[in-house]
Amino acid sequence: MTALVCEPIGREVFAPFGEVMTIEGAELRMINGGTTERFHALATADTETEDGRTIVSLFRGQPRRFPYRVGMMERHPLGSQAFFPVTGGDWIAVVAGDESGRPGAPRAFVVPGNVGLQYGRNVWHHPLIAVGRVSDFLVVDREGPGNNLEEADYPAPYILTAP
Ligand SMILES: NC(=O)N[C@@H](O)C(=O)O
Ligand code: NI
């Protein structure tokens, strides 16, 4: 079993896997007579492949127990998937590149509770990893025809320790 160490999240380091959604560096638009700050277009959903449509859901994640065995990954061939924390609190994202149709070695990122991520379409990732407490996330992803879930097991699990 291989140790999986969390790295700090950042736009550049996460760029091969998708977008980091944070107000830092976002386009700020003052609206509503100056009473509201609009941090515009943190990401663009990619859901229209094969007549898909964008939906918004709420995921309530149970905290994972650590050390946590990352034994599988999944991806959504037809659409992106974005998670934005509602409850707050750090969470963990695990992603991987593709190697001949299977996930490569994973990379784990600790994500602050006020930062969201969008996984690009067909990007390998582990299902939601909530940390420390039951955590709610707003999720923007695809609904529509076709199979939008592909899963793959690792030959041996990676062991993720608590951040
Ligand atoms: N199954 C589901 O909708 N959730 C996963 O895709 C996930 O990434 O958590
Ligand atoms: Ni997913």
Please work out whether the CB of residue 127 comes within 6 Å of at least one atom of ligand 1: yes
Whose CA is closest to atom 5 on ligand 1?
127
Ligand nearest to the CA of 128: 1
- Report which of 90, 140, 105 is spatially closest to residue 119, judged by C-alpha positions: 140
Q: What is the ipTM of this complex?
A: 0.94
**pTM for the predicted model, two decimal places:** 0.97
Q: Over its length of 163 residues, how does the chain's per-residue pLDDT go in tens digits?
A: 899 999 999 999 999 999 999 999 999 999 999 999 999 999 999 999 999 999 999 999 999 999 999 999 999 999 999 999 999 999 999 999 999 999 999 999 999 999 999 999 999 999 999 999 999 999 999 999 999 999 999 999 999 998 8
Q: Where are the domains of the chain?
A: 2-160
- Measured from the CA of 141, which atom of ligand 1 is nearest? 3
Q: Are 27 and 41 within 8 A, CB to CB?
A: yes
Whose CA is closest to atom 4 on ligand 1?
127
The fold of the 2-160 domain, in CATH, is: Jelly Rolls (2.60.120)
